[in-house]
Copies of this chain bind each other. A is one copy, B any other.
Amino acid sequence: MEDIILAPGRYKDLYKSVSLSEKIQGLHQMIQQDFPYIHRVAVALFDTKMNTLKTFVQSAKEDRPFQFYECLMENAPSLMEIKTRKTNRVVNDMAVFNNGTHEHTQKIAANGYQASYSAPLFDETTFIGMLFFNAYQKNVFKTLDLAKLDLYAQLINSLVVNKLQATQMLVGAFRSCLSLVSYKDPETGNHLERMARYTRLIARELAKQGHPGLTDETIEHLFMFAPLHDIGKIGIPDRILRKPGRLDEEEWQIMQTHSTKGREIIDTIAGYLGVATFDQLSLLRNISGSHHETIDGKGYPNQLKKAEIPIETQIVSVADIFDALTSHRSYKPAWSNEAAFKELMQLSGTKLNPDCVRVLIENSAAVKEIQNRFSDDLRDHGR
Contacts and interface: CB of A to CB of B under 8 A. Distances in A.
B78 A272 contact: no
Nearest to A183: B180
A151 B150 contact: no
A293 B266 CA distance: 37
A273 B151 contact: no
A75 interface: no
A124 B17 CA distance: 5
A365 to B, nearest CB: 32
Interface stretch (A52-60, A64-72, A91-99, A356-364): A91-99
Nearest to A180: B177
Majority-rule SS of A interface residues: helix
A247 B220 CA distance: 51
B6 A87 contact: yes
B11 A150 contact: yes
Contacts of A82: 6
Contact of A9 (B86, B155, B173, B180): B86
B91 A3 contact: yes
Q: Which 8 A-B pairs have the closest CB atoms?
A: A158-B158, A172-B273, A169-B169, A173-B173, A15-B122, A172-B272, A5-B90, A176-B269
Given A5-B90, A15-B125, 16 more contacts: A4-B91, A5-B92, A6-B87, A7-B87, A7-B89, A9-B119, A10-B147, A11-B151, A14-B122, A17-B125, A151-B151, A155-B155, A162-B162, A169-B273, A176-B273, A177-B177
